Structure 1
Amino acid sequence: MKIVIYIYHGLTMLDAIGPYEVLRNIPNAEVLFVAEKKGDIIADSKFVHLNARFEIEEINEADILVIPGSTITFMREIKNVSVMNWIRKINKTTKWTTSVCSGSIILAATGLLNGLEATSHWKPMGLLKKFGAIPKSERFVDQGKYLTAAGVSAGIDMALYLSNKIVGETKTKAIQLFIEYDPSPIYNSGNYSRAEKEVIENAEMILLEEAKKEPKLFQQIKRTTPKPKEYVQHGV
C-alpha cells in the first residue's frame, strides 16, 4: 500500500509524523515523503527538517494521500498551481485522500471538498467555507474517500480510524498499543469549545508568534486583510 505524505516548507511536524507513525505499521505499507522539489523541508518551528526523497513530478499515484497543515504557509500552498494540480491528479488514484489541521484548507482549495463536510484547526476553520466545504467542528470527519482531521494531534486519531478501515480492529489496537497512544492530558483545554477565554487568547498569541516566523507571508496577509481574517475563529 503506497502512502504519500506531501510535505512543504513551514509545515507543522506532528501533522505529518503523527499519521506516519500509525500508517507505517500497516502491513506492506510503503510511505513516501513527497515535496514540490526534493530535499530538506523546514518545519514551522524552524528547528526540525524532513527530507523529501521524492518530488511531485515523480509520483503519479497513491493509495493514501496525507496533506499536513501549517501555521501560515498553507496560504502559500493554495496559490501554488503545480501543487494544486498534482493533488487533483493523485486524488484520481487514491482510495483515501486525507488531511490534518489546516491541510484541509489546501485540500479544499483544489475544489475536491466542494459541498462536503470537513474539519480543520479551530483558527482557520472558516476558510473552508471560502472553498465550498462545510466546516464541522469534529476530531475528524469522514466523507467517503475524504478524511479530514482537526488540529495537529487529531491526525493520530484520523490515522487510527483509517487503519481500522484497512486492517481491522485487532491490528489497529495493536498499532495503538505499539505507539502507546493513551492520551491523558493534565488539562481539559484541548478543545476550543471547552477552553477559557484567557486560554484561547494565549493560544492565539502562540499562533501569531509562529506566523511571524514567515515574515514575508505574514506581511502579505496583513496587507491584503487589514484585520487578518485568514485566521478566523471556529467557522466565523
Structure 2
Amino acid sequence: MTTVVIPVYDEVTQLDFTAPHQFLTLVPDITVIVASIGGAPVKTGGLVFDQLADLDTIEQCDVLLVPGGLGCINAMENPQYLSAVQRLAKTATYITSVCSGSIILGAAGLLTGRRAASHWAWLDLLRAFGAVPEKARVVRDGNLITGGGVTAGADFALTLISELRDEDTAQCVQLALEYDPQPPFDAGNADTAPTHIRYMTIDQMGKLMGDARQRVEAFAGRGR
C-alpha cells in the first residue's frame, strides 16, 4: 500500500488536488489522505471540503503532494502548516506539488538547487528559494516531481502513477477517465496564446496575486 498525503488550506485551487485525487484513487493499492491543520474544513471558490484528516497527526507518507492556489502565500506563512510539510517531507519517498504548490515546497527549503515547475504566473518566484524554474507540464528532478499550472495535475498524476506502479497501470487509469484533451482553443500556454489574451490574463492574474511577490521575497529573505 502506498500512502499519498495532500495537505490543503483555505483558497487552495481545488483542481490542483481533486484531479490528482481522482486519478490516484483509481489505483487500488494507493491510499490518498487529504488533510488540513486540525482537520478543519477548507474553503475555496465557494466550495467547502470537510471531514479532512488532521495534518498534525499524520506521522509519515510515501508521497507528499502539495497543491497550489491563491492561498499558498498564507499557507507558506503559517508556521504550523509549513512545519508539517517539512516533517512529512523527511519521511516521503517522493516530494511533489502541483501549480504554485512548489512555492510552498520552496519556502520549506526543499527546492534549493533543484529544477521545479509551477503555474506560469508564479514560476519565476521559485528563484527566491534557490530553485531552478523550468517551463514544463511535469518536471522530474530525482525524487522531486512537480506539475505546472492547475490542469497539469492530470499529467502529473499519470506520471506519478507510472513511477509508483508502471506505465500500463497509468494508461489504464488514463483510459478509464477518458483523459484525451482536445481543447477548443490554443490558449493554454503563456508563450503561444494570442497576444491580447496573454495581456488580459496577466492583468487579471496580477490583480488576483496582489502582493504575493513581495511576501515571497520577504519570506525567502528571512531564511537567508
TM-score (ref. length: structure 2): 0.90
Partner of 2:24: 23
CA contact (8 A) 2:102 2:146 kept: yes
Partner SS for 1:138: coil
Letter in 1 for 2:42: I
Aligned to 1:165: 163
Gaps of 5+ in 2: 219-224
Aligned partners of 2:52 and 2:111: how far apart in 1? Answer: 28
Bigger mean CA offset, 101-110 vs 54-63: 54-63
CA–CA distance in structure 2, aligned partners of residues 125 and 116 of structure 1: 13
CA offset at residue 119 of structure 1?
A: 0.9
1:86, distance to aligned residue in structure 2 (A): 1.3
CA distance in 1, matches of 2:82, 2:40: 20
Whole-angstrom distance in 1 between the partners of 2:188 and 2:113: 28
Aligned residue identity for 2:165 = V
Correspondence 1:92-107 to 2 at 5 A: 92-107=90-105
- Residue identity in the other structure for 1:26: V
TM-aligned CA deviation for residue 197 of structure 1? 2.1
- Identity score, percent: 31
Q: Distance in 1 between matches of 2:94 and 2:51?
A: 21
> For residues 177 and 204 of structure 2, what CA distance do their matches in structure 1 show?
28
Partner of 2:178: 180
The match for 2:222 is none
Residue aligning to 1:51: 50
Contact 1:65/1:94 (8 A) holds in 2: yes
Q: Do 1:35 and 1:52's aligned partners in 2 also have CA atoms closer than 8 Å? A: no
RMSD value, Cα? 2.1
Provide the C-alpha distance between the structure 2 equivalents of 1:110 and 1:39, rounded to a whole number of angstroms.
22
1:69 counterpart residue number = 68
Query: How many Å separate the matches in 2 of 1:155 and 1:52?
Result: 23
Partner of 1:135: 133
Post-superposition offset of 1:124: 1.2
- Per the alignment, residue 85 of structure 2 pairs with 87
Find runs of 4+ consecutive structure 1 residues off by over 6 angstroms.
none
Q: Is contact 1:41-1:52 (8 Å) kept?
A: no
What's the CA shift string for 1:83-137, capped at 9, x where partnerless? Answer: 2221111011111111011000001111111000111001111110001101111
SS at match of 2:95: strand
Please tell me the residue identity of whatever aligns with 2:56. E
How many aligned positions are there? 217
| Structure 1 residues 208 and 127, CA gap change in structure 2 (3 angstroms) | closer
**Matched residue type, 1:22:** F
Which residue is equivalent to 1:195? 193
Letter in 2 for 1:155: G
Deviates more, 1:107-116 or 1:19-28: 19-28
1:160 aligned counterpart, secondary structure: helix
The structure richer in helix per residue is: 2
1:131-178 Cα deviation digits (max 9, x unpaired): 110111111110111111110000110110110112212111110011
